Amino acid sequence: MRVGDGEVRLSAAELGEPLGDRATLVQFSTAFCQPCRATRRVLAEVAGMVAGVAHVELDAEERLELVRRLGVARTPTVLVLDAAGRVVRRAAGQPRRADVIAALGAAV
């Protein structure tokens, strides 16, 4: 996962769901994306393991304004937000569980 965009922030209102108390894993997916399904499982598992971490999955086709604003070029794309909603890490493609856990270290 590469370092995030610094001062890019996302609010609960923009995501349509509350932010996690410590961090939020935001996943951009599309309906027919096979790696998105596996990514959903990995992120949900990590969010369930780490207290205060939320997982929010967004349909990229329904959220084009965010896709454009954030430069999402493919799915799955995962953003790691800190408690304030600031993007601290991002990655495209299916992440490994260990990489997600390591990326959370930058947010919590």
pTM of the model: 0.93
Q: How confident is the model at residue 107 (pLDDT cuts 50, 70, 90)?
A: confident
For the stretch 61-80, pLDDT in tens is 999 999 999 999 999 999 99
* Mean model confidence pLDDT for the chain: 93
pLDDT band, residue 49 (cuts 50/70/90): very high
What single letter denotes the amino acid at residue 75? T
Evaluate whether 32 touches 38 at the Cβ level (below 8 Å): no
**Which pLDDT score is estimated for 6?**
59
The SS3 of residue 103 is: helix
pLDDT at residue 2 above 70? Answer: no
Long-range contacts of 42-47 (CB under 8 A, 24+ apart): 42/94, 42/95, 42/96, 42/97, 42/100, 43/78, 43/95, 43/100, 45/97, 46/97, 46/100, 46/101, 46/104, 47/20
